[in-house]
Structure 1
Amino acid sequence: MGPMLKVGLTGGIGAGKSEVSRLLASHGAVIIDSDRIAREVVEPGTPGLAAVVAEFGPGVLAADGSLDRPRLGAVVFADKERLAALNAIVHPLVRQRSAELEAAASADAAAVVVHDVPLLVENGLMPLYDVVVVVDAPDATRLSRLTEVRGMTPEEARARMAAQAGREQRLAAADVVIDNDGSLADLERRVDEVWADLWRRARERSQG
């Protein structure tokens, strides 16, 4: 394993974390998106999907042979033991795939690996990363994005926001804050600055 800067990227719903992730990837960061990997490890034809069907039965499959997520969700969210059984299948596969992606990245002399982790602060995962980057926007801005862009009702949006860590709690956990209350051009400029900082840290690591 070569020296590698491990970055944890997080932000409240509606803050714009996905956009920041995309911009960092365009600069050359290796993005490890645990939510996306969790979907990939149970795609049709994978051992992960076979294990889920063995545990939950063929009733959790859609007509095309893919996982029927709403149906599986209805089973596991009503029963903690069933949820634990699902996590016991999926989590090790996600960890294994994440480790493979990290190992591939660490072959570079200096690599910046960004873990996209929605609940980083809520789950107390800060110590796992060299740098924690928080994408931040005021609650009012996030609320308007969720209602206007994602089509949520104000009640749904507030409930989703309330289920996550508060803004102060997230900011307190940040090593680097990316303010996303302005235009896309403002965000791109700020991400350029943050990338330069992350790249410098990664190079110092590789030379150290």
Structure 2
Amino acid sequence: MPGSIPPSRPDRPLRIGLTGGIGAGKSTVAALWRERGLRVIDLDAHSRAVLDVPGDGVEEAIVRFGEGVRNPAGTIDRAAMARIVFADAAARADLEQIVLSRVDRAVAEEEAEAAASGERVIIHDSPLLLEKHGESGYDAVVAVLARREDRIERVVRDRGRDRGYVESVMAAQATDLERIRRADRLVLNTADRPALLARSGRALDAVLEEHDLRT
């Protein structure tokens, strides 16, 4: 794991990055922390909203990729978009720019709102935090880990995906070894929900204590 966690800055809330691979249980941990009254910003939700909600993000994507990616609801046909971007690295980079610029803006607005309301801790629920090498943007990074077979079974059961899909996503994500090496705290999701509640709570409390914060 990294060494000492840098102290939080007095001019902004403590920023914690929460990450984990597909099916590891990251979203469950995020929900548990939200239940404690903490501000959890879901970066994946902001990302989906760019293409799933009518607006300038949808229109910019259509200008770039053509009317063929517009669905009857006026938003983006994800299957049509996938056929384009998975076959063309430049197209994929353009789509990422369209999405990420708006996600960054939405996250900054939510953080500013949290700071203005006096919140001392902000958590980013960020599935690609390590893949995007974003550790330096956080005071601490917490990674959720689970057994490979448990993750596959969970996604197949709960999301209706097949094993091949889950394995392909895993192959594109950071490995557990990388998460262990690069995160400041780990949460092992290897038992039941009460155990996950206890473990995630201890990890969060440890980070807060290192920064002289309590919730």
TM-score, normalised via structure 2 length:
0.84
Query: For 1:52, what is the secondary structure of its paired residue?
Result: helix
Once the two structures are superposed, the pairs formed by residues 34-73 of structure 1 within 5 Å of their partners are: 34-73=43-82
Check the 8 A contact 2:131/2:174 in 1, yes or no: yes
Once the two structures are superposed, the pairs formed by residues 1-208 of structure 1 within 5 Å of their partners are: 2-201=11-210, 204=213
- Unmatched tracts of structure 1, length 5 or more: none
Tell me the alpha carbon deviations over residues 23-51 of structure 1, each in whole angstroms, 9 at most, x when there is no partner: 11111222222221112233444121121
How many residues align structurally? Answer: 205
Q: Please, which moves more after superposition, 87-96 or 158-167?
A: 158-167
Aligned identity (percent) is: 35
Distance in structure 2 (CA, Å) of the matches to 1:180 and 1:51 = 40
Query: For 1:170, what is the secondary structure of its paired residue?
Result: helix
Query: For 1:115, what is the secondary structure of its paired residue?
Result: strand
Cα offset, 1:59, TM superposition? 1.8
Distance in structure 1 (CA, Å) of the matches to 2:171 and 2:96 = 24
Q: Please, which moves more after superposition, 192-201 or 93-102?
A: 192-201
Cα offset, 1:168, TM superposition? 1.4
Check the 8 A contact 2:42/2:126 in 1, yes or no: yes
| Structure 1 pair 202–41 and aligned structure 2 pair: CA distance change class (3 A) | farther
Check the 8 A contact 1:3/1:202 in 2, yes or no: no
| Structure 1 pair 135–44 and aligned structure 2 pair: CA distance change class (3 A) | closer
Q: Please, which moves more after superposition, 195-204 or 26-35?
A: 195-204
Distance in structure 1 (CA, Å) of the matches to 2:96 and 2:158 = 31
Check the 8 A contact 1:21/1:116 in 2, yes or no: yes
Tell me the alpha carbon deviations over residues 110-166 of structure 1, each in whole angstroms, 9 at most, x when there is no partner: 422111221222222211110000101122322332333334444433333232222
TM-score, normalised via structure 1 length:
0.87
Q: Quote the RMSD (CA, aligned, Å).
A: 2.3
Query: For 1:41, what is the secondary structure of its paired residue?
Result: helix
Q: Please, which moves more after superposition, 68-77 or 48-57?
A: 48-57
- Unmatched tracts of structure 2, length 5 or more: 1-9
Distance in structure 1 (CA, Å) of the matches to 2:148 and 2:207 = 27
